[in-house]
Amino acid sequence: MTQTLLSAKNVTRRFGGLVAIDNVSVDLDRGQVHAVIGTNGAGKSTLINVLSGEIPPNEGSIIMNGTDITRWPQPNRARAGLGRSYQRTTIFPTLTVHENCRLSAQAKHQKFWSWATPAKNCRISNEAADRALELTGLAEYADHTAGLLSHGGKRQLEIAMCLATHPTVLLLDEPLAGMGAEETDRMLDLLDSLKKEHAILLVEHDMDAVFRISDLITVMVNGTVIAHGDPEAIRTNHEVQTAYLGEDE
Amino acid sequence: EVKVGFMLPYSGTYAQLGEAIENGFKMYVEEQGGKLAGQEVTYFRVDDESNPSKGPDNANRLIKRDNVDILIGTVHSGVAMALAKAATESDVTLIIPNAGAVAITGPLCSKNVFRSSFSNWQPGYAMGVVAAEDGHKKAVTISWNYAAGKESTDGFKEAFEKGGGEVVEHLTLPFPQVEFQPLLTEIASIKPDVVYTFFAGGGAVKFVQDYAAAGLKDQIPLVGAGFLTDGTLKAQGESAQGLRTALHYADGLDNELDKKFRENYSEKYPDLPPDVYAVQGYDAAQMLAAGMEAVDGDVSKKDQMRDAIRNATIKSPRGDFTISKSGNPVQDFYLREVKGMDNVPVKIAVEDLADPSRGCKLM
Amino acid sequence: MHSSIRNFILPLLLFVVTALLPLVTSEYYTALIVKIMIYSLFALSLQLLVGCTGLISLGHAAFFGISAYAVTLLSPQYESGNLLWMLPVSIGIAMVYALITGALSLRTKGVYFIMVTLAFAQMAYYVFHDTKIGGGSDGIYLYVRPEFRIGDWVILNLDNAYVFYMFVLVCLTLTWVFLAMLMRSRFGAALTGILVNEQRMRAAGFSTFGYKLTAYIIASGLGGLAGILYAAKDGYVNPELMNWEQSGLVLLMVILGGMGRLSGAVIGTITLILLQEIFQSQALFGEFAVHWHLTFGLAIIILVALMPKGLIGLPEQLRARRRSSAGSPAAH
Amino acid sequence: MTVLINAQGLNTFYGASHVLFNVNLKIQAGESVGLLGRNGMGKTTLIRTLMGHLRPTSGNIVIRDKDHTRSAPYQVAREGVAYVPEGRGIFPNLNVRENLLVAARSGVNGRNDWNYDRVLETFPRLTERLGHGGQQLSGGEQQMLAIGRALMTNPDILILDEATEGLAPLIVAEIWRIIDTIRKSGVSTLIVDRNFRKVLANTDRCVVLEKGVVVEEKDSATLSKQPELLTRYLGV
Amino acid sequence: MDPVIFLIQCLNAVQYGLLLFLVASGLTLIFGIMGIINLAHGSFYMIGAYMAFALGPLVEQYVGGGFVTTLLACVILSAILGYFLEWAFYSYLYHRDHLQQVLMTYGLILVFEELRSIIIDNDVHGVDTPSWLSGAISLGDIMTYPTYRLFISVVCLVVAGLLYWLLTHTRLGMMIRAGASNRDMINSLGIDINRLFRIVFALGVALAAFAGAIAAPVSSVYPGMGHSILIICFVVVVIGGIGSIKGAFVAAMLIGFVDTFGQVLFPQAAGVLVYVMMAAILLFKPEGLFKQG
Ligand SMILES: Nc1ncnc2c1ncn2[C@@H]1O[C@H](COP(=O)(O)OP(=O)(O)OP(=O)(O)O)[C@@H](O)[C@H]1O
Ligand SMILES: Nc1ncnc2c1ncn2[C@@H]1O[C@H](COP(=O)(O)OP(=O)(O)OP(=O)(O)O)[C@@H](O)[C@H]1O
Ligand SMILES: [Mg+2]
Ligand SMILES: [Mg+2]
């Protein structure tokens, strides 16, 4: 009884003459980690951008919980439960780590007419922020200025901010990049625990991690899907090996 | 002791004019031995930057901070508006040594405000009379799209059409743009008998040069309010030769007072020409003197002093003039022609020309 | 205890002292303080855009001027207009202009935004400069200061200098309090987020356009309020009030004071106006006062050179210098 | 063997926070050194200090017998030190071709092993994108470009800070192969990478940083046989 | 409009556009490419014009050269001035907020204007057209067109071409653009960015001054002349798309046409037309016509 939370149907996106994603369809189900892997420039980030509403697709449609959201602007999709992280760290560098998360969490409770109450007293947002920091292991850095974190720290914060909005669908663009071995482990455990309640799209180049955690894998090359299946099928797929994985070491 | 406050442009486009006005004023006072009606004169000065939005504050520097008795200012019409308002509110006597905004001695006139110069309407009207007399029938006027330009060309139009001509087109360009070429082309396509223009300073220099360079000068006579060729001849060079303009002053008037004035001024300020601005400053001092004489130097008798100024006849280098009820000079306007570095008088265009001061309740 | 002094007692004291100042200073300095307060209000409104939301506008004077003109044109010629309705209407006109131009200009970013706001302000400028609506380039008078009244009952007569002074002071204080609360609220937090990283805000679920437009309209309304006060102060309005140089001036005040903090706008305003005042003073500089642009310009250059974070950053800067004498990132 | 870089007793601060504590680092010509440590331990800080982007409060940096403690980055770079920064530092407003050409320079003793064509041969993917702006590249493409650009300066030592981040496995393998070739051609390398196994396999020697202190400095081969140390310092 | 007049107006438009481009080209370099918001650009234009006015007689007297020598002297002196200013003032601002530059350059405007008033004076001055260029070509039946204006146009085209080539086809151009987007990185590649920027800045100042000097015979020199040109230059750069020489060129031409025909066809709205056009363009192309990269 899987429940499809988000699906892309025959999505195409072009940049000028370049077809960044070509007729791609994916389904994200609750309880699954769906990994999208593929060569550099294959269009994985573009896919996430299209799903999250950052850029519109040229063709195809995007359905969330049965609603066609193709024309929705990004903020509306986010409020409907679509959370994303960026491949290139996108945080609020001048705010503290905690504020970064609180601000993200606040998106669900904007109430911008309530000008009398200070934002920092918003209990729900604070709790969401605390929890996100706890989960990503940043709790001890809560009061640090985000821009002064090390690269790895910023990458963790990137995920924490995504979690703070309580999304139901997570679109993670290379969440493990820049993280050390220990943090990687923690993150994988976290994804594992999140997947019961969420649908997760994972774009990642760390193959150990991908094979360890994902339930389904889609492989893209030059904008098109060349393979789709469970990890074992992908691992042994010859085409994938020559195009992406390289011969087993 | 009487405190005189100069609110004049000491920086920016009009700085030169501000300096000339102050020099003229001070020269008259010094000729009287540094005193007017027996009172020692002390000066305060504020740079108005020709910026109307700072006008009220600058005016208040003199009125409220320095507590001056008399205000002298200024060149820019918008700033003069602000100054007139502030002066009226505090009931300080103001003598405007240049700005020609018609409204100040028109609908906004006030018993404490005088002008030692002209209203924008006046030179335009005078020139219009001459242009019609010369038999021109079809005229084009051109100026910046601002109040002063409009007022001047309106004056021209009034007289010119009264004399049987017609102003077929009023061309404008946005202030302070100086790209005249398109409008010159437009003039060439209309082919009027005469072109009347109101420009001053840098704009005047460039317009006259461009007009000549476009080859129009020999085809269509260019006339204007006197500022077109006042203080700008050196920069305009050859291109201004022979231009005819109307103003209440000219170089080399047949008048003893003027000769003496020019001699003294050139001696005192060898770098600066004895121009109309210096005369206006000089006469502002004369107007003040006339008022103060009447009250024996007691400037607190404001009403008496002002009445005296209104009734005075000023013996000016430009020729004698009186002052209208609205506070504007009633004076002769000369037709001048540029010869060398001088605006030589040709004839009197209109004698004792008074601004109609429409809308002024004092009239 | 300590923070309550800082947050409550100190401002109150400041308010009281300022309120009492006209009793001891001369008429001129009272007028100067009024001018500073009006410009502070104006700068505060711009700070909301520039320092708090990251929207650098070079057309803010448009709203200042539009409201100033509105209140002047709405006033009957020879009697006192009633601010009770003129104030909201004049501010409203500026806000409507802000709604239209803001909705359009917010499509652009960065320098392009700067220039589009400039363009819209220049449009307003030329409308008043080149047409007869408001007396053209010469401007028009507001003959009688407006007042607040209900029926025949005059609540506040701004013609009284002290009443006017207090009215300006109260407007400034309320604006400050309003903006301070605004910036602490969720709305303000969202603006800060937009300032720092708009992309992320959208990804989190904030419709940033609406926020920016709201901020733009609020700022314009407050700028308009400053314009109304200005018109009431001098009784004279001129198109130059909405020229880009006026917009630039208030922007300079914000930058000089320091961006992002409300106090920055006020400190910047005070400094800039006082510097002008000092360098123009014949009493201090004698004949050289004529060349005050030179000294004023040099003073600005020196201030910028010495204070990377604006005037409000100064205490912090000094503390930092004392703490670590060396070991900062190499300045290349 | 000559010493290429010799840093002694480096202490570096960010404002008031002390990040590097008496760090010593010596790199010989042709030697390959790995820099290991968890997130936030100061690896990048050390590299930026060496490059001259940060100025140490004490200690000194000698490159090729010349003191470069107070040098600007371009002076360090001219000693044949090439740098691929964390986050890549692509010029967004230049296209791929320009990004490469702007860096082109011959090495310290006139070496010219790397040129435009060879870089493109190494990263064929870039060939397809020559006219595109740096901003429009995918993450991995940017990474290739950053490495290619560093090579265009014909360096004697290549500093790679997380150079394989965001690259597809095939490319990563390729990059390690290139690093290996570069290394074999006598160019020194200083490598920071999250894949410590690869670092250990591709370097002669490793330095482990913890909280800004050098806690271990060993032959890579030796270190890889001591999993307890790796667990302690890297948490694996 | 009759066709001859129409053609003459087109010529006017092109010529005005070219002159605008020349003045704006230095700004494109400093603002568009180096990313410095330099309000003092108008002052450099003014300085160039006044140099042409003040140096002309001196050059004639001591060096014996004519107009071209004067131009050369202006360019060299202003480049030195630019180099010095960058070192003394601007180099501190790169790692600061962009808006601080605005403040500093505003201070510089005031200083330059006042120095101009102290050193020269506040008068309006004309600068003579060199005799070998003082002829005119006749247009239509009563108009003529000064040769000197054509000369300016040719010079503008040459400068436009050179600048385009310099920025897009030379390594120096790449370095400048790269340095503007990431100073640290270009530094890490072994390029002395400080000196490079100093040179570029000097070049930008020299361009502005050159524009002022070459335009002086047609525009005359007067206080505040730099002021009025500044905003329109920013408009040119922004409409064209920041950092694009081609864009600046097209934008200058557009403004030339809009302004010329605006004055003739819609005189009442002439003042706002340029701004209306800018707003319209930016609303449809929020990054200008030819945004770089
Ligand atoms: N804004 C853009 N304009 C033009 N081309 C773009 C743009 N964004 C991406 N591209 C191109 O589209 C293709 C797909 O890019 P995308 O970022 O989706 O790749 P990716 O699969 O995420 O790669 P990587 O694993 O390297 O991050 C790339 O060739 C890229 O250069
Ligand atoms: N600009 C800065 N200002 C203040 N502190 C900083 C700054 N940059 C980094 N830090 C701090 O310095 C420490 C070392 O950071 P550094 O970037 O050198 O770590 P790293 O070892 O490279 O980590 P990573 O593997 O995550 O890249 C961290 O605690 C970080 O928070
Ligand atoms: Mg990607
Ligand atoms: Mg690092």
Which of E100, E106, E275 has the CB atom closest to C119's CB atom? E275
**What is the per-residue pLDDT for D1?**
57
SS (H, E, C) C155-185: EEECCCHHHHHHHHHHHHHHHHHHHHHHHHE
Phi/psi at C145 (nearest 5 deg)? -60, 140
Examine residue B176 and say whether the peptide bond preceding it is cis (omega within 30 degrees of 0).
yes
Asked which of A166, A199, A232 is the last residue of a domain, the reply is A166
Confidence category of residue E23, pLDDT binned at 50, 70, 90: confident
What's the pLDDT score for residue B243?
94
Tell me, letter by letter, the H, E, C secondary structure of B137-186. CEEEEEEECCHHHHHHHHHHHHHHHHCCCEEEEEEEECCCCCCCHHHHHH
d(CA A62, CA B51): 59
Q: Which of C100, C79, C96 is nearest to C88 (CA)?
A: C96
Q: What pLDDT score does A185 carry?
A: 86
Whether residue C238 and residue B53 make contact (CB cut-off 8 A), yes or no, is yes
In the sheet that holds B2-8, the strands lie side by side as B35-36, B39-47, B2-8, B70-72, B93-96, B113-115
Q: What is the pLDDT of residue C178?
A: 94
8 Å CB contact of E189 and D99? no
Identity of residue C76? P
Contact assessment for residue B17 and residue B83, using Cβ atoms and an 8 Å cutoff: no
Residues forming beta bridges with residue A171, ordered by sequence position: A84, A201
Which amino acid is it at C211? Y
Is B206 within 8 Å of E29 (Cβ atoms)? no
Total count of domains within chain D: 1
Tell me if A181 sits within 8 A of D230, measured CB to CB.
no
Report the alpha-carbon distance of residue D163 to residue D143 in Å, rounded.
7
Q: Taking a C-beta distance cutoff of 8 angstroms, is the pair A173, A90 a contact? A: no
Q: In chain B, which residues have pLDDT < 50?
A: none
**D contact residues 88-147, partner A, Cβ 8 Å cutoff:** 125, 129, 136-141, 143-144
Give residue A247's pLDDT: 60
Please give the residue range of the domain that contains residue D15.
3-234
Considering every ligand atom shown, identify the ligand nearest to the alpha carbon of residue D167 and give its number.
1
Residue B221 Rama label (left phi>0; alpha psi -120 to 50; beta): beta
Confidence of residue E293 (pLDDT cuts 50, 70, 90): very low
C307/C318 Cα distance (integer angstroms): 10
| Same domain? A119 vs A3 | no
pLDDT at position C329 over 60: no
Q: Quick one: A159 and A173 in the same domain?
A: no
Residue C5 pLDDT: 62
Atom 18, ligand 1: which residue's CA is nearest?
A43
Using CA of residue A210, residue A212, residue A218, residue A222, what is the dihedral sign?
A: positive
Ligand 2 touching residue D41 (CB < 6 A): yes
Question: For chain A, how many structural domains are there in total?
Answer: 2
Q: Is the predicted pLDDT of residue E206 greater than 90, yes or no?
A: yes
Structure tokens at E286: 């929020």
**Overall average pLDDT of the C283-288 stretch:** 81
Q: Between residues E142 and B129, which one has the greater pLDDT?
A: B129
| C97 residue type, one letter | Y
C184: its two tokens? 């602490």
Kindly state whether residues A134 and A64 are assigned to the same domain.
Answer: no
Residues D221 and E126: their CA atoms lie apart, in Å, by 82
For chain B, where are the E strands, in sequence order?
Answer: 2-8, 35-36, 39-47, 70-72, 93-96, 113-115, 138-144, 166-173, 194-198, 222-225, 244-247, 313-314, 321-323, 329-339, 342-353
Partners of residue B78 in chain C, C-beta under 8 Å: 137-139, 238, 240
Q: What is the sign, positive or negative, of the torsion defined by CA atoms of B197, B201, B207, B209? A: positive
Structure-token pair, residue B75: 């060149």
Residue type, A79: R
Contact C240 B174 (CB under 8 A): no
How confident is the model at residue B344, as a pLDDT? 93
| Chains E and B touch, using 3 or more CB pairs below 8 Å | yes
Query: For residue A49, what pLDDT is reported?
Result: 93
- Which pLDDT value is given to residue E1? 66
**What's the distance, Cα to Cα, between the start and end of chain A in Å?**
38
Shortest Cα distance, chain D CAs vs residue C321, angstroms: 10
Domain identity same for A7 and A73: yes
Query: From CA A6, how far away is CA D143, in angstroms rounded?
Result: 31
Residue D122 sits in a domain of what CATH number?
3.40.50.300
Contacts of residue E187 in chain D, CB cutoff 8 Å? 53, 72-74, 77
State which amino acid sits at residue E13: A
Atom of ligand 2 nearest to the CA of D41: 21
**What whole-number distance in Å separates Cα of residue B273 and Cα of residue A54?**
69
Q: What is the pLDDT of residues A122-138, one digit of tens each?
A: 888 899 999 999 988 88
pLDDT confidence of residue C332: 42
Cα radius of gyration (chain E): 19
The 10s digit of each residue's pLDDT in E114-141 is: 999 889 888 888 888 888 888 888 877 7
Which of D132, D136, D147 most suits a substitution to test ligand 1, by most atoms within 8 Å of the C-beta?
A: D136
User: B21 phi and psi, to 5 degrees?
Assistant: -65, -45
- We report the CATH number of the domain holding residue A54 as 3.40.50.300
Interchain CB distance below 8 Å, E188 and D93: no
Q: How confident is the model at residue C326 (pLDDT cuts 50, 70, 90)?
A: very low
Q: Where are the domains of chain C?
A: 25-243
Q: Give the span between the Cα atoms of B210 and B231, in whole angstroms.
A: 18
Lowest mean pLDDT among B81-85, B235-239, D96-100, E91-95: E91-95
Residues C311, C313, C319, C321: is their CA dihedral positive or negative?
negative
Same domain flag for A102 and A153 = yes
Nearest CA-CA distance, residue C204 and chain B, Å: 45
CB C80 within 8 A of CB C146: yes
A84 lines ligand 1 (CB under 6 A): no
Residue E36 contacts C, CB cutoff 8 Å: no
pLDDT for the residue numbered E210: 93
User: 3-state class of A56 per DSSP?
Assistant: coil
pLDDT digits (tens, 9 = 90+) for D188-216: 999 998 888 889 988 999 999 998 899 98
Range of the domain at A200: 1-81+168-249
Task: Scan for tokens 């505040």, then name that residue.
Answer: E224
A236 CB under 6 A from ligand 2? no
Q: Is D148 touching ligand 2 by the criterion CB < 6 Å?
A: no
CB contact under 8 A, D74 and E175: no
> What is the mean predicted confidence (pLDDT) over E105-119?
90
Q: Which two tokens stand for residue B283?
A: 């006469």
Count C/D contacts: CB-CB distance under 8 Å.
31
Which pLDDT value is given to residue B1? 86
Can you tell me the mean pLDDT for E74-84? 94
- Ligand 2: atom nearest CA of D46 is 18
Q: Residue E64: pLDDT above 80?
A: no
Q: Residue D70: CA atoms inside 13 Å, Cβ hemisphere, count?
A: 3
Q: Are A75 and A177 within one domain?
A: yes
Instruction: Give the sheet arrangement for strand D213-219, strand by strand.
Output: D81-84, D157-161, D188-192, D32-36, D205-210, D213-219
Q: Longest C-alpha distance within chain C, in Å? A: 70
Residue type, D228: E
> Which amino acid, one-letter code, is at C13?
L
Residues C135-185: tens digit of each pLDDT: 888 889 988 888 888 888 888 888 888 999 999 999 999 999 999 999 999
Chains A and D physically touch (3 or more Cβ atom pairs below 8 Å): yes
Highest mean pLDDT among C190-199, D176-185, E3-12, E230-239: C190-199
Rounded-to-5 percentages of helix, strand, coil across chain E:
75, 5, 20
The answer on A178 and A67 residing in a single domain is yes
Pairing of strands B35-36, B138-144: unpaired
ipTM, two decimals = 0.90
Which two structure tokens, joined as six digits, stand for E141? 């039946």
Q: What is the pLDDT of residues E247-281, one digit of tens each?
A: 999 999 999 999 999 988 988 888 889 889 988 99
**What residue type is assigned to position B328 of the chain?**
N
Stretches in chain A below the pLDDT threshold 70: 1-2, 112-113, 247-249
A66 backbone φψ class: left, alpha, beta (φ>0; ψ -120 to 50): left
| Cβ pair E5:B189 closer than 8 A | yes
